[in-house]
Amino acid sequence: REEAEAQKLANKTGIFLANPEAEFNYLWGSPDVIGNRTDVSIRQTFDIPTITGMKSRISNKQNRLVELRYKADRINILLQAKQYCMDLIYYDALKKQQTTRLRYAETIAGGYKKQLTQGDISLPEYNKALLNLSSVQGELSRIDVEQNAVLYELKQLNGGVELIPDDYRYEDTPLPTNFADWYASAEQKNPVLEYVRL
């Protein structure tokens, strides 16, 4: 926001006439016959775009474009945050499912260990159960890493403020019944379309 305000101020600089320059000279005459001389001069530079107000109108249009660019950037950041939130919801659901798989794999590995000690199965079959268990544990670790990466990105977008881990849910959004009405309302809200029109 501050950058947009600074750009707006920069657009307003240089649209006014330059300050007038005044000069005063007092010259002593030598020889005395010439006498003393006094010069007074005032100068004002001007350009036609400033006088007609064209620079001011251009500055106002540039400020409008800066405002629209700011709104478009804001929408992009919100869209990016929404995308990260959906990723977070996905990883949370995936983690719950993988945790269930881990419990099943641990139960199976425990059952195979018991059968191995009783002599009902051979060591390669037990190793397959352990391999499945370690595969599920590795997948769960990968999901944790990806979920933490998404949380870190959301923290950056949130200005360094951590999000409170909670049960992440996604509410369904119904589709619009009339596409033309929806598009008209979306067109009014979208600064990019207005930016293109200007």
**pLDDT tens, position by position, 176-196:** 888 888 877 877 777 666 666
Cβ-based neighbours of 110, under 8 Å, separated by 6 or more? none
Q: Which is higher by pLDDT, 67 or 171? A: 67
pLDDT recorded at residue 170:
65
The Cα–Cα gap between 4 and 64 comes to 10
The Cα–Cα gap between 151 and 155 comes to 6
DSSP structure string for 131-170: HHHHHHHHHHHHHHHHHHHHHHHHHHHTTTPPPPP-----
Helix runs in 47-165, H state only: 48-52, 54-118, 123-157
pLDDT at 14 exceeding the cut of 70 = no
Cβ-based neighbours of 153, under 8 Å, separated by 6 or more? 84
Instruction: Report the topology of domain 2-171.
Output: Outer membrane efflux proteins (OEP) (1.20.1600)
All structural domains of the chain with their residue ranges: 2-171
**pLDDT tens, position by position, 64-107:** 888 888 888 888 888 898 899 889 888 988 999 999 999 999 99
**pLDDT tens, position by position, 120-159:** 888 898 899 999 999 999 999 999 999 999 999 988 888 8
pLDDT recorded at residue 111:
92
The closest alpha carbon to 108, from 141, 131, 138, 124, belongs to: 131
